[in-house]
Amino acid sequence: MYAYLRSAGVSLLLDTTGPHLPRVLHWGRDLGELDDHAVAELVRASVRPVTSSSPDSGVLLSVLPEQSAGWFGTPGVTGHRDGRAFSTAFRVTSVDVHDTAPVVADTPVHLTSPDGAAPLAGAVTVSAADDAAGLALTWRLELAVGGLVRTRTTVTSTREGSFAVGGVDALLPLPREATEILDFTGRHMRERSPQRHPLVAGLHLRETRRARTLDGTLLMLAGEAGFAHRHGQVWGTHVAWSGNTRTLVEREMPEGLATLGGGELLLAGEVRLANGERYESPWVYFSYGDGLDALSARFHDFLRSRPTHPQTPRKALINVWEAVYFDHRLDRLTALADAAARVGLERYVLDDGWFRHRRTDTAGLGDWYVDETVWPDGLTPLVDHVTGLGLEFGLWFEPEMVNPDSDLARAHPEWILRVPDRMPLEYRRQQVLDLTVPQAWQYVLERMDAILSEYAISFVKWDFNRDLLDAGRQATGTAGVHEQTLATYRLLAALRVAHPDVEFESCSSGGGRADLGILALTDRIWASDCIDPLERQMIEAGTGLLVPPELMGSHVASPHSHTTGRRHDLGFRAATALFGHLGVEWDLTTASETELDELARWVAAYREHRHLLHRGRVVRADDPDPALRVHGVVAHDGGEAIFAIVQRTTGVSSPSGRVRLPGLVAGRAYRVTPLPPGDTIVSPGPLWQPAWWAEGVTLSGRVLAEVGVQAPLQHPEHSVLLHVVAV
């Protein structure tokens, strides 16, 4: 029996014959229609000979590889029963293949995932058991309509005693053509820094043990040598989990077989299954594309197809953190609201500092009551002022954390996530609240619910500012990251049910929690605490491979960046923020009238074009000049596009030459003009403008993609915008 799933230029052929776990015969470029005979011939053409010094029956590389099947690379399921059952040998008991339902009235009736996440082109569910180890598993693979693949595994103990789960890694094979790896590293305020290297024999493993990915990789990518945005086959994986994770690429020798995948990283003894108990892995996503843009588009299409995806226009906001920090005074905050309304912003977010004892970041976390000494009348005067201006009101929380200097920590030291005999090292004078303690979980739910019920709050900035270091559970003495992550998900889900009209942002010292697990419960992520637009060009390029623009918070920073010390003009800051969910992080009461007028034009441009920016296909040009970045968004019907030409630094040549505008319909004609207010070239004079600049130019989509248009001369750290409209 074989399962052949196809959609959106991707096909996956799964061999489910025999008793062993399924084997992937092909995952990648669509193979077209295959009948049973063609599949049988492909299988026969793929049988590997048995070489010297290898198992006599050959190696079976399954979706959960097993050493019992001759695989010496990373296994799919690890664990033991007091040292026994250390190696599995699962035998399949049932296979269910679910194809897209027949066409009804010329429209295919798509399947739906059990969690309702997105429409599916097909799915496979496999049940298997290892009676000797006392284990059963269910493995499910889904192919979304947009071509994205995801898998999840459930392992159940079927025997008395305890089975300690070591890990469950979902792995798919890579073809021989995948010879280069791209993944990402980073730190606080410099997330998503790319790194490339050859795919050689052995294991390339990235583990995140912080329950955050400031230094981790959201995507692990492997492809043909030199793959880029617009060319080169590339395969990638993402683990949709907000705790500890591992992603890997491995070429096992001597067979030379390569795999790509990952799963949750479980700490020692973290998951132990009694008879009848089960462990459910996170979803592990796999995407294929001819170029990074195609791979990225499958993630974007999947996220946009979810019923929970934000459907209303993404409101331009101001967040007051960098304007006031902890200096909460009603007159200052209302003046900020007045300035925000003056430039056309639509939402106002009060950040850290509004609750009891919170005059610095050393105290008060966990005391979720409005501070009576700062707000004697509660938040009502500020909320009323903000909403009276026509703006929505948002509020900052850090629900999972607690300061030792807080009423909560003094009253309930047993609610701190720690091993019984020591306290974890402090981060930012913080410890972690153990949400696996029912009373602690209920306390946070009740306090947040009370605040959200009392005030007209439409947006919550949910922060998470420290790593889960030495994270034990006092009640059991065992590691607690897995259960803490599940408890956080339950808390978010409960608040969403109680307050369905409130949007939630996932913030974690910036971009430390930006995975698809948290995005199943939130409406956007904060990409980084660094708002320097030059740094954001790199940060958002990496983050945007996974996250579409409407889910990525990107703010217009103040003229002087407090994180890097750089100064940038407003055009560069705003043009960078335009390609995300736009906000402002700037004390507008210090801005001049000229600056406020210019910012108002940028906010108006965002509001006018966000239907395209937040629904179109993201494209990036493979420009040969590392000093330039050319990127944009193209409407799905090809009728309109917006591009940015970003001069990141000085180029070796000047002028840079023609820049290509990819992603347009080859046979259509397009009018290319500068897009106000991003049409200003910061230069000594008009000679820096290319000849076509003043009146625009009309060219075909093919010519724009293959030849391009002359870029203007720009100073480094500036950008211009182009509006491309079909004629």
Tell whether the model's pLDDT for residue 551 goes beyond 90.
yes
Alpha carbon distances (Å) from 351 to 270, 348, 385: 35, 10, 17
Asked if residue 72 has pLDDT above 60, the reply is: yes
Specify the DSSP element, H or E, that contains 597: helix 593-613
Model confidence pLDDT, tens digit, residues 665-680: 999 999 999 999 999 8
Please indicate, yes or no, whether residues 295 and 359 belong to a single structural domain of this protein.
Answer: no
Is 131 among the residues known to form the active site? no
Residue 48: pLDDT over 90: no
Per-residue pLDDT of 198-232, as tens digits, reads 999 999 999 999 999 988 899 999 999 999 999 99
> Which of 31-40, 542-551, 589-598 is predicted least confidently?
31-40
Distance CA 169, CA 220 (A): 14
Q: Residue type at 512?
A: G
Question: Is 259 found in the same domain as 170?
Answer: yes
Q: How far apart are CA 690 and CA 713, in angstroms?
A: 8
Question: Does 364 fall in a domain?
Answer: yes
Which CA distances in Å does 392 have to 196, 462, 621? 43, 17, 37
Q: What is the chain's Cα-based Rg?
A: 27
Taking residues 78-101, report their average pLDDT.
91
Q: So what's the pLDDT on residue 559?
A: 96
What sign has the CA pseudo-torsion 647, 651, 655, 659? negative
Return the residue matching tokens 């009309």: 698
463 is a catalytic site residue: yes
Q: Contact, 490 vs 274, CB < 8 A?
A: no
- Report the amino acid identity of residue 673: T
CATH code of the domain in which 240 resides: 2.70.98.60
Among 589, 612, 635, residue at a domain's last position: 612
- Which segment of 35-44, 346-355, 566-575, 639-648 scores lowest on mean pLDDT? 35-44
48 in a structural domain: no
User: 678-715 burial by CB neighbour count: b if 16+ within 10 A, else e?
Assistant: bbbbbeeeeeebeebbeebbebbbebbbeebbbbbbbe
Q: What are phi and psi of 576, to 5 degrees?
A: -70, -45
Whether residue 457 contacts residue 382, with contact meaning beta carbons closer than 8 Å, is answered with no
Helix (H, G, I), strand (E, B) or coil at 415: helix
Average pLDDT (628-656) is: 95
Mean pLDDT of 434-449: 98
Q: Evaluate if residue 49 carries a pLDDT over 60.
A: yes
Which of 183, 352, 463, 523 is an active site residue?
463
**Domain annotation covers residue 73:** no
- At residue 596, the pLDDT reads 98
431 and 458 part of one domain: yes
Same domain? 694 vs 645:
yes
| Residue 660 shares a structural domain with residue 604 | no
In tens, the pLDDT along 329-339 reads: 999 999 999 99
* Bridge partners, residue 5, by sequence: 12
pLDDT in tens, 373-394: 999 999 999 999 999 999 999 9
| Same domain for 658 and 598 | no
Residue 460, beta-bridge partner list: 395, 504
Q: CATH number for the domain including 686?
A: 2.60.40.1180
User: What is the rounded distance in angstroms from the CA atom of residue 241 to the CA atom of residue 283?
Assistant: 8
Q: Per the domain annotation, does 710 fall within a domain? A: yes
* Rounded percentage of the chain residues whose pLDDT exceeds 70: 98
Task: Say what the pLDDT of residue 101 is.
Answer: 47
Q: How confident is the model at residue 103 (pLDDT cuts 50, 70, 90)?
A: very low
Is there a domain that residue 122 lies in? no
Mean pLDDT, the chain, whole residue set: 95
pLDDT in tens, 341-367: 999 999 999 999 999 999 999 999 999
- Residue 86 lies inside a defined structural domain of this protein: no
CA distance 119 to 353: 42
The pair of structure tokens assigned to 200 is 């050689």
Please report, in angstroms and rounded to a whole number, the separation of the first and last CA atoms in the chain: 51
How much is the pLDDT for 600? 98
Q: How far apart are CA 166 and CA 157, in angstroms?
A: 13
pLDDT one-digit tens code per residue, 470-498: 999 999 999 999 999 999 999 999 999 99
Same domain, 366 and 339: yes
Q: Give 114-182 as a DSSP string.
A: TT--SEEEEEEEEEEEETTTTEEEEEEEEEETTS-EEEEEEEEE-SSS-EEEEEE-EEEEE-TT--EEE
Confidence of residue 51 (pLDDT cuts 50, 70, 90): confident
Distance from C-alpha of 540 to C-alpha of 547, rounded to nearest angstrom: 9
Per the structure, the complete domain to which residue 185 belongs is given by 166-199+206-267+282-305
Separation CA 699–CA 668 (nearest Å) = 8
Confidence at residue 52, expressed as pLDDT on a 0 to 100 scale: 78
pLDDT of residue 59: 83
Q: CB-based contacts of 590: which residues, under 8 Å, 6+ apart?
A: none
pLDDT tens figures, 160-205: 999 999 999 999 999 999 999 999 999 999 999 999 999 999 999 9
Task: Provide the 10 A C-beta neighbour count for residue 548.
Answer: 25
SS3 224: coil
Condensed to tens digits (0 to 9), the pLDDT of residues 557-567 reads 999 998 999 99
Angle between helices 438-454 and 481-498 (to 10 degrees): 30
Mean pLDDT throughout 502-515? Answer: 96
Q: Is residue 171 part of a domain?
A: yes
Q: Are 240 and 484 in contact (CB under 8 A)?
A: no
- Region 590-604: what's the mean pLDDT? 98
For residues 50-55, average pLDDT = 79
Please state the rounded mean pLDDT for residues 509-529: 96
* 326 and 190 part of one domain: no
Confidence of residue 685 (pLDDT cuts 50, 70, 90): low
Residues 553 and 631 in one domain: no
Q: Are residues 486 and 557 in the same domain?
A: yes
- Active-site entry in 290, 351, 467, 529: 529
φ and ψ of 296, to 5 deg: -65, -40
pLDDT tier at 111 (50, 70, 90 boundaries)?
confident
Report percent pLDDT > 90 for the chain: 90
Q: Are 187 and 510 in contact (CB under 8 A)?
A: no
Number of domains forming the structure of the chain: 3
